[in-house]
Chains A and B, each alone.
Chain A
Amino acid sequence: MSERVPERVPEPGPLSFHVPAPAVRPGGTPDFSDVKISRAGEVRRPEVDVAPEEIRDLAFAIIRVLDRNSEAVGPWAGLLSDQELLEGLRHMMTLRAFDARMQMAQRQGKTSFYMQHLGEEAVSCAFRKALEPGDMNFPTYRQAGLLIAGGYPMLDMMNQIYSNELDPMKGRQLPVMYSSREHGFFSISGNLATQYIQAVGWAMASAMKRDTRIAAGWIGDGSTAESDFHAALVFASTYKAPVVLNIVNNQWAISTFQGVARGGAGTFAARGLGFGIPSLRVDGNDYLATHAVAKWAVERARRNLGPTVIEYVTYRVGAHSTSDDPSAYRPKTESDAWPLGDPVLRLKNHLIRRGVWSEDRHKQAEAEIMAGVIAVQKEAETHGTLHTGPHPSARDMFEGVYEQMPPHLRRQRQQGGV
């Protein structure tokens, strides 16, 4: 409890209505001085069976591994080999190249909509490597790194984005609303927060069946305000579900700054404390820290120790989607001022520091990865784009509403002439 006493307790009088606002708006000078950043290596690493009340401070710190000199330091360092880190870098670079091409494809009219990950690549790419086959993610629309790092074919992703004849979702879903049971990636709804409680339900089922698989729920800062978020925390807490509850705080919910959803809580991780769930905050732009914290939470779930809340502190460098222009709601240079840097650059510099990477090899890898993405894109486009087709048939539209088509739908399909 805070012992702070205001200098003067306000007098009763006309009430004032409080609406939080970001520190700076377009035209202003970006200012992140209020983001308190822990030193790399500074935050302790508790045992996985720690009592939640002993680590309440971790919901307000930021766990970081990579320091200013690109060294990996502290108790959360040392989990990943050179090879694994090089692979992690490649995943993030692939996701970035994929985003660049798909963003452009949308601008060229080849699809209706796209959502990129720029600046947030580490979160989903690193998390995926903490899971085992059979575990299930309940993602939002900004975790395609789970697929890229999980070996899902990029061609299938593009076919989905183009709603072409090979679209695994048969043209029924908006671009980027992927689904792959095989790759532990639950169907993206497009509604917000609904998947969070579903992740908890999936994890409860796994525990009921005495299975060994665990679930991971994903949500953004803005949609933690949804009631499904709170339901998920209640159920996870009550039934000690084997689930990792991820909150990706990228500072912006379209044009609404994170303070509107966070309110007076201080941090999003702090939301978990009232539910008695161990809650940690991590530098989401630090591949090593993100992976280490994910691994810690996954181990807790696997050992029947129950849920963990993780807040990834990151920054959405790009627009929310292809349908908004961030310069209308935040300073254009705000992303340059973001104090946690760029995840790709930071891992690249660390690998150079380790002596297993170089500027030249990085440039070469960038070119190779881009060429690979372009080759897949060309192949996808031979199967059609939203603009040119071919698309899944109108007949497909009537399929899969139910396991067996009921008579009324059959009649409607006949009326529709398909």
Chain B
Amino acid sequence: MPRRTMIEDVGYFGGVFRCTHGLQQKFGSSRVFDAPISESGIVGAAVGMAAYGLRPCVEIQFADYMYPAYDQIVSEAARLRYRSNGQFTAPLVVRMPTGGGIFGGQTHSQSPEALFTHVAGLKTVVPSNPYDAKGLLIAAIEDNDPVIFLEPKRLYNGPFDGHHDRPVTPWARHPQGEVPDGHYTVPLGKAAIRRDGSAVTVLAYGTMVFVAEAAAAETGVDAEIIDLRTLLPYDLETIVASVNKTGRCVIVHEATLTSGFGAELSALVQENCFYHLEAPVTRVAGWDTPYPHAQEWDYFPGPARVGRALKAVMEA
């Protein structure tokens, strides 16, 4: 396997969320090192490294800080293969903590996935648990196209289900917290069914998978919960099979509603499952406001809001 390189604010200290703790000691400072605070510089340099033949894996400290690098991601990494007719490629991974739930306010809480799924040439991944995170990350690094790897920061410590007033079970005591040693991959473009059900399909990813599970348990609605894992390319087959079975669909994401990835999912369900639908496709999402600070739990689509949507589609 080709040698990999990692850069960003991750070297000596191990990152603000400690994801890269110990890596520099293990692999040396020519493979794991700190970078100047310049997101466009980090991703731009990574594009050059990838064009050289490395597989850089860079970290942007928060997805909210991605915007200075957006030109390098959209105009450069995503299009390099296409515009050079395959002479140069950009097999890089851009990791970034995403989403809210940590009282991070508007600059540490955003969910910008739709800004990536809108771009031809990118793949966008959002894992929901440690097992998938490792398998998807290895698959992303081995992929020969650029991959945006959004890590829901509220899940770093455990499967947060939106009940912010209750303690979170640490991953160590959760079955999906089991991470095998050694090499394995979770394929990109394949969703996972987290809960089998017959009444309604819930399409979710990241933290919202656990919120949806809590909502289903609390309302007693027999929901089939699909964890998309990869947003682009999406697993249309799994989505369509489930919605055709249940006849109902609720889409949940933390990102703002309008032009969010849920809009794409809703259109796909309508185009592919129209004659099986018993109720309008419903979206539960972040409100179309900047991510607030004090009002975090009024903003965050928690189990109560998702539960109301489940009951509403069942009554439609």
Report which A residues bind B (CB closer than 8 A). 136, 138, 168-170, 172-173, 177, 179-181, 186-187, 189, 191, 194, 196-206, 208-209, 215, 227-228, 231-232, 234-235, 238, 400-403, 406-408
Contacts and interface: CB of A to CB of B under 8 A. Distances in A.
Contacts of A234: 36, 38, 41
Given A170-B85, A173-B83, A179-B83, A201 B44 contact: yes
Interface of B: 3, 5, 30-31, 35-36, 38, 40-41, 44-49, 51-54, 56, 68, 71-72, 75-76, 79-89, 120-121, 123, 143-145, 189, 232-234, 236
B233 A406 contact: yes
Contacts of B87: 179-181, 187
B48 A197 contact: yes
Nearest to A211: B52
A194 B44 contact: yes
B51 A198 contact: yes
A16 to B, nearest CB: 32
Contacts of A202: 48-49, 51-52
Contact of B88 (A179, A200, A228): A179
A199 B48 contact: yes
Given A187-B84, A238-B36, A194 B48 contact: no
Given A205-B49, A228-B41, A172 B5 contact: no
A204 B35 CA distance: 12
Contacts of B236: 407-408
A186 B44 CA distance: 14
Nearest to B44: A197
Contacts of B79: 189
13 contacts: A168-B85, A169-B83, A187-B87, A194-B72, A194-B76, A202-B52, A204-B45, A231-B44, A232-B41, A400-B86, A403-B145, A406-B232, A407-B233
Contacts of B36: 231, 234-235, 238
Given A169-B85, A235-B41, A407-B233, 19 more contacts: A179-B83, A179-B88, A186-B88, A189-B75, A198-B47, A198-B76, A200-B44, A201-B48, A202-B52, A204-B49, A205-B5, A209-B54, A400-B81, A400-B82, A401-B121, A402-B145, A403-B81, A403-B143, A407-B236
Given A228-B44, A238-B36, A169 B121 contact: no
Nearest to B234: A408
A197 B121 contact: no
Given A187-B88, A407-B236, A201 B121 contact: no
Contacts of B54: 205, 208-209
| Residue in A191, A205, A401 with the greatest tally of chain B CB atoms within 10 Å | A205
B82 A401 contact: yes
Given A179-B88, A191-B71, A200 B81 contact: no
A201 B46 contact: yes
